[in-house]
Amino acid sequence: MNILLLGSGGREHALAWKIEQSPLCSRLFIAPGNAGTQLCGTNVQLNINDFDAVAGFVVENNIHMVVVGPEDPLVNGITDFLKQKPETKNVLIIGPGKIGAQLEGSKEFAKEFMKKYDIPTAAYRSFTTETYEEGVDFLETLKPPYVLKADGLAAGKGVVIVNSLDGAIDTLKQMLKNKAFGKASEKVVIEEFLDGIEISVFVATDGKNWVLLPEAKDYKRIGEGDTGPNTGGMGAVSPVPFADTEFIEKVKSGIIQPTMDGLMKENIDYKGFIFFGLMNVNGDPFVIEYNVRMGDPEAEVVIPRINSDLVNMMQHMALGTLNEYVIELCPQFAVTVMLVSGGYPESYEKGFEISGLDSPHDSLLFYAGAKEKDGKTITSGGRVIAVTSLHNDMRKAIEMSLSITHKIDFAHKFFRTDIGKDLLK
Ligand code: AMP
Ligand code: GLY
């Protein structure tokens, strides 16, 4: 079948790399893709939020399956759009419709859903400009640190954690009155702070059946030892040693199954990936957030640990027959280290040539912010390349990725050298 994958990051390169290996895939197109996806298929210059343009491409190129990588087209309703159009209604689509995507698109929707279906999460209340004063009163009843979240999509920046009450009140004011995050912060969720270790858990679902994918730990802060500002993710590891059978069983019975039951009760037809951002609080999992897609950079360690055919799995997801699919996983550790542009996540320069991409090694390079220009590969974003290594020994996988980070170079390159090291005994 012909497949169209939407997106342009490291996650999409990992997906493209895996899709291209499937005997079920005839042609793979990636829109808009990057210099890495181009090695797995054909990049096409499409605006993925222009649904008419996407539908036109699907029809013209006889596309059988559309895989939506990032959240924004999903939140904007691409799945419903394609399903409602007579010419594209039979195309298999990986990604939920507009309502299902609200699990990520609206923090308040997600919190209400969790409350309704008894899914463990931090206690919360939400506020608008009209109820600003009540928000201040609510903050005064809480203990620090204070967690404030813009309701809508804010490119991963909508969560603010503050230590002082004054700072929290000021943040609330910035968000509600000064619209610090535009429309996304017209509503603000204030919630209880959860103290623990984060872990990302993923499922593939057809709306009723689900398959557990490998879990991962993401390193979000820019600096060594989890310091400095949040980024899109500086590295990831999978499996996560503290996610033992007992913990995963709690996640399955207390979080995944109730989420699936809730989706079915709400008649939300969900065919896609669900990313559970969890906090392990003394051995008990709590949901911090839902995402309606794979994680990035988590996909760069999760996808390489899937041995079975991903296209076949996605076919079963779209057709509602996931109960017939048996996933085979790779038992090795996967570690990815992200090479980023100096200055990221604040301002940084791009357009620098990347050297050493052809140097021999046994790792996988997933390109993120890298594009082709005049026969050269140049940096085009903050996160540039994810270096993923697999090994039975996590320490070796870390060493392998770190050794390659020295071979690939570009001006002002930066990366963390401590990815995964906190998990070594
Ligand atoms: P989110 O955008 O929802 O993933 O939140 C960004 C980050 O804020 C998360 O990855 C956590 O590190 C942190 N965070 C969010 N909610 C909480 C909470 N209730 N307690 C502690 N940390 C949180
Ligand atoms: N790595 C976190 C995310 O994809 O949202």
Are 58 and 140 contained in the same domain?
no
Q: Name which of 179-193, 255-269, 274-288 the model is least confident about.
A: 179-193
Residue 386 has pLDDT above 80, yes or no: yes
Mean of pLDDT over the chain? 95
Q: Is residue 102 part of a domain?
A: no
Are 203 and 187 contained in the same domain?
no
Condensed to tens digits (0 to 9), the pLDDT of residues 340-376 reads: 999 999 999 999 999 999 988 999 999 999 999 999 9
Condensed to tens digits (0 to 9), the pLDDT of residues 179-200 reads: 878 788 788 889 999 999 999 9
Tell me the CA–centroid distance for residue 22 and ligand 1, in Å. Answer: 36
Are 314 and 203 contained in the same domain?
yes
Task: Among 144, 176, 191, identify where a domain stops.
Answer: 191
Q: Is residue 108 part of a domain?
A: no
**Ligand nearest 156 Cα, by number?**
1
CATH of the domain at 287: 3.30.470.20
Task: Among 168, 191, 214, identify where a domain stops.
Answer: 191
- Integer angstrom CA distances of residue 267 from 203, 264, 270: 19, 5, 9
Supply the pLDDT for residue 177: 80
pLDDT average, residue stretch 306-315:
98
Task: Among 280, 302, 324, identify where a domain stops.
Answer: 324
Q: How confident is the model at residue 279 (pLDDT cuts 50, 70, 90)?
A: very high
Supply the pLDDT for residue 15: 98
Q: How confident is the model at residue 251 (pLDDT cuts 50, 70, 90)?
A: very high
CB 65 within 8 A of CB 318: yes
Residue-wise DSSP of 140-179: HHSPSSEEEEESS--TT--EEEESSHHHHHHHHHHHHTS-
> Which percentage of the chain shows pLDDT scores above 70?
100
Supply the pLDDT for residue 259: 98
Extract the tokens encoding 115.
């409350």
Q: Is the CB of 298 under 6 A from ligand 2?
A: yes
Tell me the CA–centroid distance for residue 277 and ligand 2, in Å. Answer: 8
**Ligand nearest 275 Cα, by number?**
2
Are 181 and 234 contained in the same domain?
no
Domain that holds residue 225: 197-324
Are 320 and 303 contained in the same domain?
yes
Tell me the CA–centroid distance for residue 355 and ligand 1, in Å. Answer: 36
pLDDT average, residue stretch 164-170:
91
Are 153 and 219 contained in the same domain?
no
Instruction: Tell me which of 71, 289, 296 to substitute to probe ligand 2's pocket, judged by most ligand atoms within 8 Å of the beta carbon.
Output: 296
| Core vs surface per residue 266-290: b (16+ CB within 10 A) or e | eebbbbbbbbbbbbbeeeebbbbbb
Supply the pLDDT for residue 20: 98
* Other residues' Cβ atoms within 10 Å of the Cβ of residue 170: 12
**Ligand nearest 190 Cα, by number?**
1
Q: Is residue 202 part of a domain?
A: yes
Residue nearest atom 15 of ligand 1, based on CA coordinates: 288
Say if pTM beats, i.e. exceeds, 0.85.
yes
Are 156 and 250 contained in the same domain?
no
The total number of structural domains that make up the chain: 4
Q: Is residue 16 part of a domain?
A: yes
CATH of the domain at 22: 3.40.50.20
Unique residue bearing structure tokens 């829109």: 31
Residue nearest atom 4 of ligand 2, based on CA coordinates: 295
CATH of the domain at 130: 3.30.1490.20
Q: Which atom of ligand 2 is nearest to the CA of 296?
A: 4
Measured distance CA(131)–CA(141) in Å, rounded: 16
Are 132 and 229 contained in the same domain?
no
Q: Is residue 114 part of a domain?
A: no
Measured distance CA(82)–CA(58) in Å, rounded: 9
Supply the pLDDT for residue 175: 87
Q: How confident is the model at residue 80 (pLDDT cuts 50, 70, 90)?
A: very high
CB 305 within 8 A of CB 329: yes
Q: Name which of 100-114, 126-140, 144-158, 298-312 the model is least confident about.
A: 144-158
Q: Which of 42, 57, 47 is nearest to 87 (CA)?
A: 57
Supply the pLDDT for residue 134: 87
Residue 425 has pLDDT above 80, yes or no: no
Specify the DSSP element, H or E, that contains 10: helix 10-20
Q: Is residue 116 part of a domain?
A: no
Are 255 and 174 contained in the same domain?
no
Tell me the CA–centroid distance for residue 293 and ligand 2, in Å. Answer: 9
Are 319 and 201 contained in the same domain?
yes
Q: Is the CB of 277 under 6 A from ligand 1?
A: yes
Q: Which of 70, 46, 74, 49 is nearest to 60 (CA)?
A: 46
Residue-wise DSSP of 36-52: TGGGTSEE----TT-HH
Instruction: Tell me which of 159, 240, 287, 298 to substitute to probe ligand 2's pocket, judged by most ligand atoms within 8 Å of the beta carbon.
Output: 298
Supply the pLDDT for residue 154: 79
Q: Is residue 23 part of a domain?
A: yes
Supply the pLDDT for residue 19: 98
Q: Which atom of ligand 2 is nearest to the CA of 11?
A: 4
